[in-house]
Amino acid sequence: MWWRNRNVLLILSLILALPAGQAAPYLEPLVLPALGLVMTLALLEVSGEIFRSAKNLVWPVVVGLALNFGLNGGLVLGLSTWLSAREEFFTGFVLIAAVPPAVAVVPFTALLHGDRTFSFLATIGGYLAALALTPLLAVGLLGTAFIHPFRIFKILFLLILLPLLVSRLLRRAGLAPRLEPWKGALTNWSFALITYTIVGLNRDLFLGQPLALVSPIVIALLSTFVLGEVIFRAARLWGIRKDLAVSLVLLGTLKNAALAGGLALNLFNQQTAVPATVCAIFLIIYFIWLSFWHGTKQEGGG
């Protein structure tokens, strides 16, 4: 049925948000709970056994940091130095390079049938490392110490630690199997709400200043579509299994644009938040493309 089909819902929400995004400001308070919900549902199938071996924890964290901060962050910084004529845009891309992976890496991994455990451990490692890396990168590149660790702690708690705790309680209570028939629909509608809200909140920017967005769009395109394809092909060439390759692609292409945008708005101005806005929307478009490209089976879809 179309109303449960992930790709149909995402495309419709993306299309509707531009001409009819007036409801986005009213839906904005629901974005964080919606993302927390999909995170909880994605973690239901992650076994608690993964935390018992230090060896199992180290490798995903190291690889995740190398891909997200090293490869993706380095590419974004290099491209922004070359392509960003506006100082505000360069500052915005520095913030993107400095923030940890998108929290959506884990639920996206689940929807694309990637290695959930690997993505989860790498994401946790990315946020713990970001408590030190994000301020250090910002200070080193912008010369200003302005990113308070509390912002990262808040995201770490609300979108990773709390969903993990709730998912463990649901597993212990034996409720995980009962939620299985509803997981697909809840996840798909949550992502549709998030997509509509993000695009709707920034519709004026996209409709009113299209030429100003050329360089941010080029950088977002190269750091998602192009970089993701390079990572996937390299992983498959090296004999890495497909589910792990999917996780590597997501870790190497998805940054927490929402955090970068929030920092930009609170510490600089709306122009500085433009790169984060463009990247957030490209994250959605990129995920829709990945869903089709990899021919994934739609959860709860028709």
Alpha-carbon span 35 to 48, nearest angstrom: 22
pTM of the model: 0.80
* Residues with Cβ within 8 Å of residue 222, at least 6 apart in sequence: 75, 79
2-293: what CATH class? mainly alpha
Per-residue pLDDT, 149: 64
Phi-psi group of 143: left, alpha or beta (phi > 0 → left; psi -120 to 50 → alpha; rest → beta): left
pLDDT tens digits, one per residue of 128-186: 888 788 878 877 887 755 556 676 677 778 877 888 899 889 988 988 888 888 888 88
**Above pLDDT 70, what percent of the chain?**
87
Q: How far is the C-alpha of 261 from the C-alpha of 18, rounded, in Å?
A: 19
Dihedral Cα 218, 222, 225, 226, nearest 10 deg = 140
DSSP run (H or E) holding 205: helix 203-208
